[in-house]
Amino acid sequence: MAVLALLHHAGGSAAVFRRLTRLLPGHVEPLAAELPGRGRRWREPAVHTAQEAVDDLTDLLARNVGADEELSILGHSMGAYLGLGVAAALERRAGPRCQVLFASANLAPRLAAPLFAEDEAPASDEEVLRRAARFGALDARLLRDPHIAARAVSVLRADFAVCDSFVRTMARTVTESRVVVCRGREDVFGDEHTDQWQWNSTQPLSTRTFPGGHLYLESAGAEPLAATIAAALTEPAQSRT
């Protein structure tokens, strides 16, 4: 049995993986992880730095995955960056190691820039929602409820802080895991945005594209993504020369 840890996007939760988990083959066991402040962990205070997020997720995987179990990570958008951090962190401690990191829907860390400058005043709620809407990750109908909208802004602020912290402090993280870049054909990211993921792994990079946009794994891209995951987990690791 191979364990596949699933790390969600900014402002999201494990719910984004519902369709995918139904399509995974029986020998792949999904483990949907959530950061504090949403989903099953909504009562917990949110984290605001990449190191806090990576430590939280690394501890979660160490508790739930045996040292001798096969582990891979699929991180979507923000989760791709956190997956990189977690994969590298697991290599520095006893316990499971990540074999394959599926880096989904995000540009190479070295090309990323912070969303917000450190010396600027906090962004307005409207600006936070506007940034999130660029990727089609918000349901406008839900945001008509002021309580839901306020909650969404709060979670997004925390997650954007985590993303900016990662870009500033962890963008040059390197893992021994094989990296498979996954992206939607209609997303904003092309080869020029993702090829440099190569610099974050000691193994050769591969890239797969799927029908759909930024949230392709919730629509037509889910089935081919599941097939790609199943195939990748059977391939032997290769050292980069």
In this prediction, residue 20 carries a pLDDT of: 98
Q: Say yes or no to pLDDT of 175 above 90.
A: yes
pLDDT for res 239: 46
Collapsed DSSP state (helix, strand, coil) of residue 194: helix
Distance CA 169, CA 84 (A): 13
Q: Can you give the length of the chain in residues? A: 241
Of 146, 154, 206, residue with least CA distance to 182 = 206
CA distance 162 to 168: 10
Each residue's pLDDT tens digit, 109-133: 999 999 998 877 788 888 888 888 8
Binned at pLDDT 50, 70 and 90, residue 236 comes out as low
Per-residue pLDDT tens for 60-75?
Answer: 999 999 999 999 999 9
Instruction: Give the 3-state secondary structure of residue 153.
Output: helix
Q: What is d(CA 238, CA 241) in angstroms, rounded to the nearest whole number?
A: 9
Query: For residue range 12-26, what is the model confidence (pLDDT) as tens digits?
Result: 999 999 999 999 999
CA dihedral 23→25→31→35, nearest 10 degrees, is -30
Mean pLDDT of the residues in the chain? 92
Taken in order of first residue, the domains within the chain and their CATH numbers are: 2-232 (3.40.50.1820)
Decide if pLDDT at 6 tops 90.
Answer: yes
Q: What is the pLDDT of residues 76-97, one digit of tens each?
A: 999 999 999 999 999 999 899 9
β-bridge mates for residue 33, sequence order: 7
H runs (alpha helix) in the chain: 18-23, 50-64, 78-90, 125-133, 146-169, 191-194, 222-232
Q: At what angle do helices 78-90 and 50-64 cross, to 10 degrees?
A: 60
